Amino acid sequence: MKSDSLAPTAHVEQQQASISQPTQLTGVDEAIFVDARPEAMTQQRLQAMAKNSPQTRQMKAMQAQINTGSYGNSGVIQCALWTSAEFTTATTFEKTFSTDPRARKSIVVIDNALKAVHDNLVPAGRIGLLQDLVQAIDEYLELKVLGKKHTTPFEWRGKADASNERIDPALTLKQQVLDELRGGRNVVNGINWDLHDEMVQATSDLARLKTLVSQRFGIAVADIGAVPIGGTKVGGTGKVTTAHDWTLKGLKRAYQALTSLPLSHTEANASLGKFQRYEGGGGYFAENSATVAIGSRDDRLEDNYAGGTAVGVAGSNSFEWTVRHEIGHAVADKVGAVAGYCATDPGGHWTDYGHNREVDFVEEVFACSNGIVHAILAEGVAAGMMRYTAAQVAQKEITMDAAIATIMNYVPSLPINNAVTAQQIAADPGWAVLNGNLEAVWSGGARLVVGGRGFVKSSERGFASFQDASFARKVSAYQFRSPHEWFAEAYAAYHDPRFAPGTLLAGDPATRAHIAAVV
């Protein structure tokens, strides 16, 4: 009786086990849980197709070839560009029952590509494979973006899907391959960018254009920092700029300017990380954030510099000149041009005082004038206070007469004796520099020169001095705003695409040779 009462219970438990757990089959990779719902059957069909598809088998075979070192680039690329063609036959089901079919396809494409091109490839063949893969992706995108017909092995993909839904996954794959090739901020060699350049000019999608520009140069195409579109930012000059998104027309013109420069100055430049736009004109470089920002308006993109302008070279497109000029700042930051070449005689023999060394600037002014003030400062008594007072004149904080009156308070205690008069101090040529317009030269005005040195000040960069003889070799007056601007203007002139490199620096052969050989 005891055993009879237990039997039904065991039988029930056995039935429950058979219902709650999938049947374990031998010789099968994965047990299939049978679900009678129509949508579940569709998903099972898709999974089975993916697992047993010719593409999957080809991937496994190719992976075996990779592991043994015997593989062909064309086979790898074909698998990398697999666009889930077998899923296309079930498009209706997929769109009905899959929450994000586009993302699903993207994952399949990218995952399979990375399996094919990542760590398992031997180094000797890996670079060439990745280069070929970029070219193949561009051929695929050529069909999608440009609508061109061709007879490459990848033409069937255009027939399989006439929509643009796979452009972005292909661009994502291309970005990952380029990242592999760059290995950080290095130049991607062996790439033919012709199709890429065509797509840039053909696309009418701004987000896609940003992606293409970013891929070409390895930079982020963005807006001004964290400032939202329509927000404002106060620059170093106190000027308020309004953040705007790039326009198709403006970004394509900027791309044209960027392609005229060596890739080592853009793609392989850690000092250039962001490429931004604001409303207006001009531009700026922010070294602390590796940012180049360009002020642009679509109705001014065709403007050229007129004759007699203080900035740029007459006849040059002003927008493209600005792009090259600001990239020149990033290049100068990369190679240390301000503290390096610009400090040499051929580079203008600049001394950069910035905003925090104005007393040293004053010291050089009076040393070059070699007058009575220099003799007074050499006595050492209250020299620091007198330099500071003179610097206030340069800053336009006090008048020259007020500064001289302060200096006269210390004269009786100087070893030079108290016979020095205020009139003698006022006659020192150095005051003409400190009391003059230190921002005039770079806006086309007169230079302030004493003892063979020119002296300037800019609101962004502060005080600086240069060898006056170098002014005869100028590209533009704006070049003498600071050593930073000196180099950036020379760089923009050197790479003017209207001429052979360096043509516009014919009057400064040393700098032309330096940019060609070192930069």
Query: pLDDT digit string (tens) for 189-242?
Result: 889 999 999 999 988 888 889 999 999 999 999 755 445 544 555 554 455 556
Residue 422 above 50 pLDDT? Answer: yes
Show the tokens assigned to 342: 């610009």
DSSP for 341-366 reads GGGSTTTT--EEEETT-HHHHHHHHH
- Band (pLDDT 50/70/90 cuts) for residue 450 is very high
Question: Could you tell me which residue, 173 or 274, shows the higher pLDDT?
Answer: 274
Return the pLDDT at 484. 96
pLDDT digits (tens, 9 = 90+) for 367-395: 999 999 998 888 877 888 899 999 999 99
Pair 296, 250: CB distance under 8 Å: yes
DSSP collapsed to 3 states, 86-129 = HHHCCHHHHHHHCCCHHHHHHHHHHHHHHHHHCCCCCHHHHHHH
The rounded distance, in Å, linking the Cα atoms of 271 and 291 is 8
The rounded distance, in Å, linking the Cα atoms of 446 and 437 is 9
**Of 98-102, 111-115, 248-252, 342-346, which range is least confident?**
98-102
Return the pLDDT at 464. 97
The 3-state DSSP class for residue 438 equals coil
Return the pLDDT at 248. 93
In terms of Cα–Cα distance, which of 287, 297, 376 is closest to 339?
Answer: 287
pLDDT digits (tens, 9 = 90+) for 51-94: 555 555 655 665 565 555 554 555 555 555 543 333 232 233 23
Mean pLDDT, the chain, whole residue set? 76
Residue 27 above 90 pLDDT? Answer: no
The rounded distance, in Å, linking the Cα atoms of 355 and 462 is 5
Return the pLDDT at 181. 85
Query: Scanning the structure block, which residue is given the tokens 């230190």?
Result: 438
The rounded distance, in Å, linking the Cα atoms of 453 and 353 is 14
Return the pLDDT at 412. 78
Query: Scanning the structure block, which residue is given the tokens 């792009």?
Result: 323
Q: How far apart are the first and last CA of the chain?
A: 99
DSSP H helices, 162-247, are 167-182, 194-202, 206-217
pLDDT digits (tens, 9 = 90+) for 315-348: 899 999 999 999 999 999 999 999 999 999 999 9
pTM of this prediction exceeds 0.85:
no
Chain-centre distance of CA 203, in angstroms?
Answer: 21
